[in-house]
């Protein structure tokens, strides 16, 4: 039996080569670092960041179909699937980072900056990439723009208000506010799902799309027990990879003299957003433009409301004290608010159409914000 068979199955033939390459680089860099070669440390942490990102990416590919299998077995409404199952599938790495930052290393500001950076990446980079790879300009339904975009904007403003009002520590009150905000989003999704169900049944086109997706799945599931094993297993894998990503990014930041908050905002956020990017790009290539966009904003709402509130409540239950916050770079929040307003305008203008020109402008704006963030 090939000893690399499990890794080949997990990464796939093409991705396996990249994983082996970065693993080899990390081993060589580690040996050089042990021999006192200073620059090898940079190479070591960068290669470990890449390995962690690849693991998060592939674990998400297995997590998503397993979660969908459970949803179909229990006939969970599509709205709840979108708000909970899909959001967990794409945002679990951010959740792990928040848990690690708040509970394990005691740096809640790193978790917050990662969530903010991931939200910025999702709202600018993912629509930009999806818009550029789409075969035609992306026409988004009015409901997605006004429901998901506007609700997400309200959540971002809520985050800014919480940091403005409670800049030093967060307790149960702040966490409950975010949880209630997310329940409000689930309520809106459920209401729209019931409304759509009354109006029309699934169209033949939708059935074809489902069939195509099923055929592309690499994971064969024959029982719910097996699906749950994959879900739990991939959660553990993503948790470990997220820990590696956080520690490697902070170590690289220390070597470069870059604050951990900025590393969370840029490096960790990009690493944890890979599953979101993959899902939206696949949807855009298949012409499922609503799915490509709603996944972005639904994931961001989950990130802010759930990935920030649950760690705060867990830390409170463990230590009995509120979570300390030290986030002097409030400019990061304002950049996210501004980018969200711009995204809402881009999706709303031209009859809810995202052209390739707009997509390119969103990508350039993200690069400018990242460059400016290093001056905060």
Report the C-alpha gap between 359 and 365 in whole angstroms.
10
Do the beta carbons of residue 283 and residue 130 sit within 8 Å? yes
Could you tell me which residues are beta bridge partners of residue 37? none
Mean pLDDT by 10 residues, the chain (376 residues): 71 80 92 89 93 88 80 67 68 87 84 87 89 87 76 88 85 92 86 69 48 49 83 89 92 91 90 78 81 77 89 86 73 82 84 89 92 79
Contact 171, 322 (CB under 8 A): yes
Query: Burial of 180 by CB count in 10 Å (0-12 exposed, 13-18 middle, 19+ buried)?
Result: exposed
Residue 2, SS3 per DSSP: coil
Burial 249-282 (b: 16+ CB within 10 A, else e): bbbbbeeeebbbbbbbbbbbbbbbbbbbbbbbbb
Per the CB < 8 A criterion, the answer to whether 58 and 10 are in contact is yes
Q: Which two tokens stand for residue 191?
A: 């209401």
Q: In angstroms, rounded to a whole number, what is the distance separating the alpha carbons of residues 279 and 13?
A: 20
The pair phi, psi for residue 169, each rounded to 5°, is: -155, 150
* Best CA proximity match to 67, nearest among 56, 49, 80, 50: 80
Q: SS3 string of 44-113?
A: HHHHHHHHHHHHHHHHHHHHHHHHHHHHHHCCCCHHHHHHHHHHHHHHHHHHHHHHHHHHHCCCHHHHHH
d(CA 117, CA 76) in angstroms, rounded, equals 31
Q: Please state the pTM of the whole predicted model.
A: 0.82
Domain ranges in the chain are: 5-373
Answer whether 359's CB lies under 8 Å from 347's CB. Answer: no
Q: What is the CATH architecture assignment of 5-373?
A: Up-down Bundle (1.20)
């Amino acid at each position: 039996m090939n000893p690399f068979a499990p890794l080949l199955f997990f990464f796939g033939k093409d991705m396996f080569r990249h994983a082996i390459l970065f693993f080899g680089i990390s081993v060589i860099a580690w040996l050089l670092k042990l021999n006192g070669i200073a620059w090898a440390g940079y190479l070591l942490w960068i290669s470990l960041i890449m390995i962690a990102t690849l693991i998060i990416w592939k674990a998400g590919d297995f997590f998503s179909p397993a979660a969908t299998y459970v949803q179909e077995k229990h006939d969970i409404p599509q709205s709840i699937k979108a708000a909970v199952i899909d959001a967990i599938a794409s945002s679990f790495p951010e959740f792990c980072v928040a848990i690690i930052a708040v509970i394990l290393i005691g740096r809640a500001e790193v978790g917050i900056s990662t969530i903010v950076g991931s939200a910025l990446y999702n709202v600018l980079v993912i629509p930009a990439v999806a818009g550029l790879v789409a075969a035609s300009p992306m026409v988004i339904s009015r409901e997605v723009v006004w429901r998901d975009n506007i609700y997400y904007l309200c959540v971002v403003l809520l985050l800014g208000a919480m940091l403005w009002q409670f800049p030093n520590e967060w307790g149960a009150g702040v966490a409950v506010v975010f949880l209630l905000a997310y329940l409000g989003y689930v309520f809106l999704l459920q209401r729209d799902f019931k409304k759509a169900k009354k109006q029309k049944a699934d169209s033949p086109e939708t059935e074809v799309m489902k069939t195509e997706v099923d055929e592309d799945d690499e994971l064969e599931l024959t029982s719910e027990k097996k699906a749950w094993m994959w879900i739990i297993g991939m959660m553990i894998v993503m948790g470990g990879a997220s820990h590696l990503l956080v520690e490697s990014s902070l170590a690289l930041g220390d070597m470069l003299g870059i604050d951990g908050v900025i590393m969370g905002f840029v490096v960790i956020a990009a690493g944890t957003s890979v599953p979101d990017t993959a899902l939206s790009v696949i949807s855009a290539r298949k012409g499922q433009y609503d799915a490509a966009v709603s996944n972005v904003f639904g994931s961001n709402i989950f990130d802010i409301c759930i990935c920030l509130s649950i760690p705060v409540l867990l830390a409170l239950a463990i230590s009995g004290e509120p979570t300390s916050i030290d986030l002097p770079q409030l400019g990061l929040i304002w950049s996210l608010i501004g980018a969200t307003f711009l995204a809402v305008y881009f999706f709303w203008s031209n009859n809810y159409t995202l052209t390739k020109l707009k997509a390119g402008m969103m990508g350039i704006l993200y690069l400018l914000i990242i460059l400016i963030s290093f001056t905060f």
